[in-house]
């Protein structure tokens, strides 16, 4: 007798993003997922967002339009309405890839050791919803994270952010780490959640795009980028880390530029050992499609 499908719970916080909201909703619902729980938390929009949402109500688990205390408060309230085994949120101007939920469920089902997961190939969309870039961020490791490897501040070697749109986790991890986003933070509550998750579980990468960030200019993450970085740096210090700078940042930055495309390659054992023992590289695990099934392979990050 087969086990029941893991339920996927998705929350979308929304406020006056009607021009993008329908594309976001469709990127969730068009996956025709057999066990999806989708919640939309609108903050009392004054545009036609509510009309957009109402056209989709028959396929939503819950929705509301009422004032809230900000994006992260809305997300917390939304997750409180969910019961799924796998959790994620997608903002009202971003989009999933059509295959995202199928792959995510397969990986969480096959590999019980995976507690949170994100792509190593983050996408970007433009204001028209067109794909404009795909990048290789490499795998992930807590020690690299604490050195600022996922916080590309000025003067640091930071590579790329952990893409929030592409990150999924088990409810058991969410509950174990407090079960809520830190609403004392205006912008970097996602980064704080990753720091909290890292205290309990390794982050696995997957070699396929799962979602993308839409860059259209009129958004907090663009208009208030400096404030996000300030908050994220404070979070990093709070959790025992600090972006490395100076000579170390230069060495690590150059090493990543040279070695990034070899980071998932099969290398001689002595090369991997040298990087590890020198403290230059950190081990990571990434899921790839090997031609017949999803498999976990070892790699390194700087």
Provide the CATH number for the domain around residue 80: 3.90.550.10
Q: Is the pLDDT of residue 218 over 90?
A: no
Among 65, 93, 121, which residue terminates a domain?
93
- 101 and 236 fall within a common domain: yes
- 86 and 153 fall within a common domain: no
> Residue range 9-22: average pLDDT?
96
Domain of residue 54: give its range: 1-93
Largest CA-CA distance found in the chain, in angstroms, rounded: 61
- 46 and 166 fall within a common domain: no
- 205 and 132 fall within a common domain: yes
> Residue range 183-205: average pLDDT?
97
**How far is Cα of residue 94 from the mean position of the Cα atoms in its chain?**
12
Residue 99 to residue 122: CA distance in whole angstroms: 14
**What pLDDT, on a 0 to 100 scale, did the predictor assign at position 48?**
95
Tell me how far CA of residue 79 lies from CA of 26, 63, 88, 264, in angstroms.
20, 12, 9, 35
Q: Are 123 and 213 in contact (CB under 8 A)?
A: yes
- Give the residue from 38, 33, 25, 188 showing the smallest Cα distance to 93: 25
- State the chain's mean pLDDT as an integer: 95
Total number of domains in the chain: 2
End-to-end CA distance of the chain: 44
Q: Is the pLDDT of residue 5 over 60?
A: yes
- 202 and 187 fall within a common domain: yes
> Residue range 195-216: average pLDDT?
96
Here the CATH number for the domain that contains residue 187 is 3.90.550
- 147 and 2 fall within a common domain: no
Q: Mind giving me the DSSP string for the chain?
A: -PPPPPPEEEEEEESS-HHHHHHHHHHHHTT--TTEEEEEEE---SSSHHHHHHTTGGG-SEEEE---S-HHHHHHHHHTT---SEEEE--TT-EE-TTHHHHHHHHHHH-TT--EEEESS-EEE-TTS-EEEE-------HHHHHTTTT---TTS-------GGG-EEEHHHHHHTTSS--TT-SS-HHHHHHHHHHTT-PEEEESS--EEEE--S-SHHHHTHHHHHHHHHHHHHHTT-----HHHHHHHHHHHHHHGGGTTS---HHHHHHHHHHTS-EEEEEEEE-SSSEEEEEEEE-
**What pLDDT, on a 0 to 100 scale, did the predictor assign at position 221?**
63
For the record, the structure tokens of 69 come out as 């205390």
Among 78, 93, 108, which residue terminates a domain?
93
pTM of the predicted structure, to 2 decimals: 0.95
- 230 and 146 fall within a common domain: yes
- 85 and 184 fall within a common domain: no
- 38 and 163 fall within a common domain: no
- Give the residue from 187, 212, 214, 163 showing the smallest Cα distance to 20: 214
Tell me how far CA of residue 88 lies from CA of 84, 168, 174, 197, 287, in angstroms.
10, 5, 10, 13, 19
Among 93, 127, 148, which residue terminates a domain?
93
**What pLDDT, on a 0 to 100 scale, did the predictor assign at position 154?**
82
- 146 and 261 fall within a common domain: yes
**What pLDDT, on a 0 to 100 scale, did the predictor assign at position 2?**
64
Q: Over pLDDT 70: what percentage of the chain?
A: 97
Residue keyed to tokens 């507690």: 115
- 130 and 52 fall within a common domain: no
- 179 and 70 fall within a common domain: no
Q: Is the pLDDT of residue 1 over 60?
A: no
Helix 189-198 vs helix 225-238: crossing angle, to nearest 10: 20
Q: Is the pLDDT of residue 54 over 70?
A: yes
Q: Is the pLDDT of residue 188 over 90?
A: yes
Q: Is the pLDDT of residue 74 over 80?
A: yes
């Amino acid at each position: 007798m087969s086990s029941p499908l893991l339920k996927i719970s998705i929350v979308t916080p929304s406020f006056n993003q009607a021009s993008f909201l329908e594309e976001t909703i469709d990127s969730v619902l068009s996956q025709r997922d057999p066990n999806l729980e989708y919640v939309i938390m609108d903050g009392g929009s004054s545009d036609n967002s509510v009309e957009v949402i109402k056209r989709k109500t028959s396929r939503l688990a819950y929705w509301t339009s009422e004032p809230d205390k900000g994006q992260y408060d809305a997300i917390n309230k939304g997750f409180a309405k969910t019961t799924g085994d796998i959790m994620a949120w997608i903002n009202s101007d971003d989009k999933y890839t059509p295959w995202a939920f199928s792959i995510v469920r397969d990986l969480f089902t096959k590999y019980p050791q995976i507690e949170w997961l994100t792509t190593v190939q983050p996408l970007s969309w433009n204001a028209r919803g067109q794909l404009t870039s795909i990048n290789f961020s490499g795998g992930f490791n807590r020690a690299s994270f604490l050195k600022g490897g996922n916080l590309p501040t000025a003067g640091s070697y930071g590579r790329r952010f952990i893409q929030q749109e592409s990150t999924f986790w088990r409810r058991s991890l969410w509950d174990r780490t407090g079960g809520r986003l830190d609403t004392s933070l205006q912008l970097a509550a996602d980064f704080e959640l990753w720091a909290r998750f890292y205290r309990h579980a390794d982050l696995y990468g997957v070699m396929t795009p799962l979602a993308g960030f839409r860059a259209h200019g009129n958004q907090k993450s663009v208009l208030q980028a400096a404030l996000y970085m300030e908050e994220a740096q404070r979070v990093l210090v709070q959790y025992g880390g600090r972006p490395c700078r100076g000579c170390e940042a230069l060495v690590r930055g150059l090493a990543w530029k040279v070695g990034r495309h070899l980071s998932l390659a099969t290398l001689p054992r002595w090369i991997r050992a040298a990087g590890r023992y020198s403290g230059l590289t950190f081990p990571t695990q990434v899921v790839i499609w090997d031609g017949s099934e999803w498999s976990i392979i070892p790699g390194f990050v700087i």
